[in-house]
Structure 1
Amino acid sequence: MKIKKYTIYTYLLVFILGLSSCIKEDLSNCSLTFTFDYTYNLEQQNKIDEQLLDRMQIFMFDKNEVLRYHFRKNDQKTIEKGFQVTNNAFEPGEYKIVVATISSDYKEDKSDFLISNVTLNKTLLQEFKFFLNHQDHQSKDLLNNFLVSSLPYQWTSYGQNIHVSLRKINKRINIELVIPNNIQTRIEKDQYSMYIKDKGVCSMDGNLDPTCDNDIIYHPCQPYKLTHEDDKVILRATFNTSRLIYREGQEENTQIIVKNNTTNEYLIKAKVFRLIEEGAAFDDQKDADWGLQEYIDRREEYSFSFYIDEDGSWLSNLVNVNGWDVSFIDLDM
Structure 2
Amino acid sequence: MKTWSEVAEVQPLASKIITNSIKKDRISHAYLLQGGRGTGKEAIALLLAKDLFCEYKAAAEPCNACNACKRITSGNHPDVHWIEPEGQSIKIEQIKNLQKEFTYSGLESNKKVYVIKAADTLTSNAANRILKFLEEPSKQTTAIMLTENSQWIIPTIRSRCQVIDLQPLNPISFENRLVEEGMTKANAVLMRALTNNLDDAFAMNDDEWFASARKLMVQLVGVFSNNPEDVFLFIHNHWVTHFKERKEQEQGLDLLLLAFKDILYYHIGNEDSMVFFAANDEVLEKAAMSFSQEKLVTVLNEILQAKRNLKQNVHPTLVIEQLTLQIQR
Q: Same fold (TM over 0.5)?
A: no
More strand by share: 1
Q: Work out which of the two has the higher radius of gyration on C-alpha atoms and give 1 or 2.
A: 1
Task: Give the TM-score of the pair, scaled to structure 2.
Answer: 0.24
Task: Give the TM-score of the pair, scaled to structure 1.
Answer: 0.24
